[in-house]
Structure 1
Amino acid sequence: MANLKKRTVLITGCSDGGMGAALVKEFHAAGLHVYATARNPSKMASLATLGPDVELKTLDISSAESIAACLADVPKLDILVNNAGASYVMTVADMSLAEGKALFDLNVWGNVALSQAALPLLLKSSKGMIVNHTSTAAHAAIPYHAAYAASKAAMSMFTTIMREELEVSFGIKVIELKTGAVNTEIVKNARAKEGGLPETSIYAAAKEVIDPALRGEFLENGGISAEAWAKGVVGDVLSSSPPNVIWRGKGASQVRLASWFPMSWLSGPLKKLTGLDKVETIVRKP
Structure 2
Amino acid sequence: MFSPSHEKAYIVVVSRGNAMSRTVLITGCSDGGLGAGLAMAFHQHGDRVFATARNPSKMVSLQALGIETLTLDVISEDSIKACVQEISALTGGSLNMLINNAGAAYFMPILDTPIHELESLFDTNTYSIVRTAQHFFPLLRNSQHGGHLVNNTSLAASWPLPWYGPYSASKAAASSITSNLRYELEPFGIKVTELKTGIVQSNVYANLAADEGNVLPDSSVYALLKDKIGAVMRGEHGLTPQPTDQWARAVVNDLSRRNPPVEIWRGATASIFWVTVTFLPRVAVGFILKRSAGLDVFAKRLREQEESKKNE
Please tell me the TM-score bracket, short chain as reference.
over 0.9
Q: 1:234: which partner in 2? A: 252
Rounded Cα–Cα distance in structure 2 between residues aligned with 1:38 and 1:220: 29
Task: Give the number of the structure whose alpha-carbon radius of gyration is greater.
Answer: 2
Q: 1:271: which partner in 2? A: 290
Deviations 1:59-87 (A, max 9, x none): 11100001011111113311000000011
Deviations 1:194-231 (A, max 9, x none): 621111111223323322222121x2452211111101
Q: 1:189: which partner in 2? A: 207
Q: 1:153: which partner in 2? A: 172
Residue 98 of structure 2 aligns with an amino acid whose one-letter code is L
Unaligned residue ranges in structure 2 (runs of 5+): 1-13, 308-312
Q: 1:63: which partner in 2? A: 76
Q: 2:131: which partner in 1? A: 113
Conservation of the 8 A alpha-carbon contact between 1:18 and 1:186: yes
Q: Are 1:18 and 2:18 matched, yes or no? A: no
Q: 2:142: which partner in 1? A: 124
Rounded Cα–Cα distance in structure 1 between residues aligned with 2:283 and 2:201: 27
Deviations 1:64-122 (A, max 9, x none): 00101111111331100000001111111111111011100111111110111001101
Conservation of the 8 A alpha-carbon contact between 1:136 and 1:255: yes
Q: Are 1:204 and 2:217 matched, yes or no? A: no
Change (3 A) 1:3 1:204: closer
Give the paired residue count.
Answer: 282
Out of 48, 54, 63, which is 1:33 matched to? Answer: 48
Rounded Cα–Cα distance in structure 2 between residues aligned with 1:267 and 1:182: 24
Q: CA deviation at 1:140?
A: 2.8
Residue 79 of structure 2 aligns with an amino acid whose one-letter code is S
Q: CA deviation at 1:3?
A: 5.6
Change (3 A) 1:17 1:256: same
Q: 2:115: which partner in 1? A: 97
Q: Are 1:175 and 2:193 matched, yes or no? A: yes
Rounded Cα–Cα distance in structure 2 between residues aligned with 1:257 and 1:170: 33
Rounded Cα–Cα distance in structure 2 between residues aligned with 1:222 and 1:152: 22
Conservation of the 8 A alpha-carbon contact between 1:14 and 1:20: yes
Change (3 A) 1:133 1:61: same
RMSD, matched Cα: 1.8
User: Does the residue aligned with 2:217 lie in a helix, a strand or coil?
Assistant: coil
Bigger CA drift: 17-26 or 150-159?
A: 150-159
Rounded Cα–Cα distance in structure 2 between residues aligned with 1:231 and 1:131: 15
Change (3 A) 1:56 1:18: same
Q: TM-score scaled to structure 1, two decimals?
A: 0.93
Residue 160 of structure 1 aligns with an amino acid whose one-letter code is S
Q: CA deviation at 1:147?
A: 1.0
Q: CA deviation at 1:271?
A: 3.0
User: Does the residue aligned with 1:280 lie in a helix, a strand or coil?
Assistant: helix
Rounded Cα–Cα distance in structure 2 between residues aligned with 1:266 and 1:183: 26
Out of 52, 60, 71, which is 1:45 matched to? Answer: 60
Conservation of the 8 A alpha-carbon contact between 1:182 and 1:225: yes
Q: 2:162: which partner in 1? A: 143
Unaligned residue ranges in structure 1 (runs of 5+): none
Q: 1:82: which partner in 2? A: 100
Rounded Cα–Cα distance in structure 2 between residues aligned with 1:80 and 1:50: 21
Q: CA deviation at 1:273?
A: 2.8
Rounded Cα–Cα distance in structure 1 between residues aligned with 2:108 and 2:150: 28
User: Does the residue aligned with 2:112 lie in a helix, a strand or coil?
Assistant: coil
Conservation of the 8 A alpha-carbon contact between 1:134 and 1:176: yes
